[in-house]
Amino acid sequence: MVVYHNPKCRKSRAGLEYVRKHDPSATVVEYIREGISPEEVKKLISMLGIRPVELVRTQEDYYRENLKDTHPSDEEWYHILAENPRLIRRPVVVSNGKAVIADPPEKAGIFFNNQ
């Protein structure tokens, strides 16, 4: 299990805490600090089963100032999100080829038989 996590985000911390209660060995990826590639973004979006724009935090200043009234292609979104990882909704929990945005944290329960 992998958790894409931003330690500065309250919701991300809550999601990680929930996951760790069920899987203490979960791997944590601090994608803002460590970086994330366009290919990783594409893979996450595929595992989530969503369109790239659905992974975007539209309340971020960068989005409002630069992207609000634009319509990037999916490929462009992969690069935009990799270059601006703060735009990625969090936390994203990945297990066995599937992913979920764990906001609220209980959404990660699908990986733990809804415990």
Q: Tokens standing for 112? A: 């733990």
pLDDT confidence of residue 114: 52
The CATH number for 69's domain is 3.40.30.10
Q: Which residues of 4-37 are buried (b: 16+ CB within 10 A; e: fewer)?
A: bbbeebebbbbbbebbeeebeebebbbbbeeebe
Task: Give the chain's domain count.
Answer: 1
107 among known catalytic residues: no
**Average pLDDT estimate for 61-90:** 97
Domain that holds residue 36: 2-112
**Average pLDDT estimate for 93-109:** 97
Catalytic residue among 3, 9, 41, 55: 9
Q: Tell me which residue has tokens 């992969």.
A: 78
pLDDT confidence of residue 113: 76
* pTM for the model: 0.93
Query: Of the candidates 2, 1, 9, which has an alpha carbon nearest to the alpha carbon of residue 85?
Result: 9
Order of all β-strands in the sheet with 92-95: 27-29, 2-4, 92-95, 98-101
Residue 115 predicted with pLDDT over 70: no
| Mean predicted lDDT score pLDDT of the chain | 96
**Average pLDDT estimate for 40-49:** 98
